[in-house]
Amino acid sequence: MTEKKNASELALPRYIAIEGVIGAGKTTLATLLSNRLNARLVLERFKQNPFLEDFYRDPERHAFQTQIFFLLSRYRQQQELGQLDLFHQMIISDYTFDKDRIFATLTLSEHEFRLYDSLLSALAEQVQLPDLVIYLQSNMNRLIRNIRNRGRAMEQNISVGYLQELSEAYSQHFFRETGINTLIVNTPEFDFVNDQVAMEALIDEIGRPNPAPLRMFQVSKPGKLL
């Protein structure tokens, strides 16, 4: 059985960002890890985007407004990460600033994307990069089940085709050289909430010294590691 260690015993990254397709479990894992490691939790403010619900109903008409709002909102939130926090030595977020471009490549027209990308390039230079990205890799059945189970009305119109395109775009992004230390977690059999053995093993992997820049963590079934 994996021994539960204190955060002070591990060589943990200061800033961890968790990524994955809609429904992959980013917020759940970020919240659990922040509680376990006494880290500052930074969650994406998607509910503040006034265009998001319209985007899910009519993507072509509302994509540009939705993307620009997200881009500026995420940029402002990223600026707050540099503020001194006397109570936490770590930051755990349920998104990366880079994710915005993944969505934009799928939703914007060529002219819109050129304008968007010029703004993104200017802002990205002022954004702090995570020390580690945890990419939650899932399958379509689990994504759809998670989206249905959490019951957000605006997400019920998401098509399987869009999820598949998004999943492929995420994989292309994280399996190529990104310049950021990345841990890929295969989630279909990983129960974040109830499988404490796997969770402690994941924390050990996060704190492992001198890891490979791109590595995998996989669980075959509760309590059993691959």
| Structural domain includes residue 174 | yes
- In a domain, residue 68? The reply is no
In a domain, 163, yes or no: yes
Using one digit for the tens of pLDDT, what is the confidence trace for 43-70? Answer: 998 888 999 989 988 988 999 999 999 9
Is 134 within the bounds of a domain?
yes
What's the CATH number where 40 sits?
3.40.50.300
At residue 63's C-alpha, the angle toward residues 110 and 23, to 5°, is 115
> Span 27-33, mean pLDDT?
95
| 206 in a structural domain | yes
Find, among 42, 37, 41, the residue nearest to 11 by Cα.
Answer: 37
Count of domains observed in the chain: 1
Domain for residue 34, yes or no? Answer: yes
Contact 42, 92 (CB under 8 A): yes
Helix (H, G, I), strand (E, B) or coil at 186: strand
Between 43 and 80, where is the model more confident? 43
Q: Is 120 contained in some domain? A: no
Q: What pLDDT does 67 receive? A: 95
For residue 207, pLDDT beyond 50: yes
Distance CA 98, CA 124 (A): 8
Residue 181 domain boundaries: 7-45+89-105+128-225
94 is catalytic: yes
Catalytic residue among 54, 58, 85, 94: 94
What does the pLDDT look like over 82-108, one tens digit per residue? 765 667 789 999 999 988 899 999 999
In a domain, 154, yes or no: yes
pTM: 0.87
